[in-house]
Structure 1
């Protein structure tokens, strides 16, 4: 299972069973009694409204690796397991992850278990990323749907700043390569540790 710490705003949208699991309509690939936490466990998630569309931004607690899920409809919230897995695997792919890492990440995926425990440091990072996404949409006059098709690095790596006299500078807000390396180390360490048991 993957522990997901949700904001109250997001938790109100999620149809949950007892224990915090989602009421999925699709058949689940995961066992119903799975109790062990995955090496990928520990995410914070927030519901953000961009251009009148509901989007979810998830940030991993240890590595601050983001997953952005744009334009969700009411029925999609019950399928957040699916959307998270899809968004996470696509984010890894777009940051240049190799096949070994992709296989490790896929094997470590599990059902989401939601709660309201929050870490203010992670929430601050998540809020900053949300502001950068909003700024990018406004500055580039883009659509949220365009952002869904954009590369992961475009979403997370840069923030455009006005320097003066109309000049624009791209400032690295979050070093994707550094955090990708941290995510790779994190996954490999926990996957190898589990195999040794």
Structure 2
């Protein structure tokens, strides 16, 4: 694997800079630059073939001595975060071979690398100082359009998938997926989505999917509950009677960060980034997602079936009905008032409510638009 480093990077590492060979596969070569972001050494790697980015944030002096092995592991973790099968990642790293360091190839590659670095800097507020390999920032950078001039505009993550599919000569994602129905339990209203979702999806991405499905803006805290399917006579009442019948015992609370872990909790708690859907489904078929602890938006999640679908790359909304509430409308009472005003053009607050809803980025449910956004996951 060839790493074409800028002078700043090559001056910082104790490795010999080797002579560039000819006719090499660009899929196994990367350009790299060393930045300082928030007073931390940040390495940005850009694949020569597809412009996909890998980001290491907070490199320490001692880690530069093992940078070759660290780069290998960073690529593995980032590809894994893209839900690429482990055997495909293994093959890529094996065919790429040991890391060697080289000078940058030409101005075109350097210009593209600089643009990738700009994208990472623009998203620097989301860099996690507690982890070295920042997969989430890398994934977001890979979804921005890049190119321009004489080059066709591309999305690097799509090009990466094409390259790895050609390399593997077959599917690079798991074929196992779950079909789920997700409902918001309001009496007299029908608000639900049916979705097919890959089972190797982490719960933090599952949360992002739910935000897209219901038009939320990820502005508040959230958590999940997983339930035992065995009915109990104990009065838990974790579910509304409008959809799921019976009371069910919570067996797991999945939280977004450590601040939500409570020492007094009677239910096992785990961080969402440490858990895959496949760790819960299909063993458990009943979950609850709570978004915005103030307005308390509850979503009932029922796993309907497990399917094998080699075409499954990202979640797909199969069907749905009803518009979810706008952000910060005041819980169920505020939502019902919102619906009444919006449905009555003669209401004195109708125009101001429409203007307020636009400010909240409120949108009607549109399956086509939802699936367009889901394809970016």
TM-score interval w.r.t. the shorter chain? 0.5 to 0.7
Q: How does 1:94-113 map to 2 (within 5 A)?
A: 94-113=81-100
**How far is the alpha carbon of 1:99 from its aligned partner?**
3.4
How large is the RMSD of aligned CA atoms in angstroms? Answer: 2.8
Distance 1:187 1:120, change over 3 A: farther
1:14 lines up with 2:13 in the alignment: yes
* Unmatched segments (≥5 aa) in structure 2: 146-152, 170-377
1:157 lines up with 2:137 in the alignment: no
Q: What residue number does 1:183 align with?
A: 163
2:129 alignment partner, SS class: helix
Q: Is contact 1:6-1:116 (8 Å) kept?
A: yes
**How far is the alpha carbon of 1:117 from its aligned partner?**
3.5
1:49 lines up with 2:36 in the alignment: yes
Q: Is contact 2:17-2:103 (8 Å) kept?
A: no
1:145 lines up with 2:144 in the alignment: no
Aligned residues: 156
Larger Rg belongs to: 2
Distance 1:183 1:69, change over 3 A: farther
Cα shift readout 1:103-158 (whole Å, capped 9, x = no counterpart): 31232243222121422222222211211111122xxx445516845524234324
1:89 alignment partner, SS class: helix
Q: Is contact 2:47-2:53 (8 Å) kept?
A: yes
Distance 1:115 1:103, change over 3 A: closer
Between the aligned partners of 1:93 and 1:65, the Cα distance in structure 2 is 14
TM-score using structure 2 length: 0.37
**How far is the alpha carbon of 1:45 from its aligned partner?**
0.9
Q: Is contact 1:47-1:54 (8 Å) kept?
A: yes
TM-score using structure 1 length: 0.67
* Unmatched segments (≥5 aa) in structure 1: 21-36, 160-172, 190-197
**How far is the alpha carbon of 1:174 from its aligned partner?**
5.8
Q: How does 1:22-101 map to 2 (within 5 A)?
A: 40-101=27-88
Distance 1:177 1:43, change over 3 A: closer
Greater helix proportion: 1
Q: Is contact 2:3-2:101 (8 Å) kept?
A: yes
* Bigger relative contact order, structure 1 or 2 (CA pairs below 8 A, ≥6 apart): 1
Q: What residue number does 1:4 align with?
A: 3
Between the aligned partners of 1:72 and 1:114, the Cα distance in structure 2 is 17
Distance 1:177 1:7, change over 3 A: closer
Distance 1:18 1:134, change over 3 A: closer
Q: Is contact 2:3-2:30 (8 Å) kept?
A: yes
Between the aligned partners of 1:38 and 1:129, the Cα distance in structure 2 is 21
Between the aligned partners of 2:26 and 2:144, the Cα distance in structure 1 is 28
2:72 alignment partner, SS class: helix
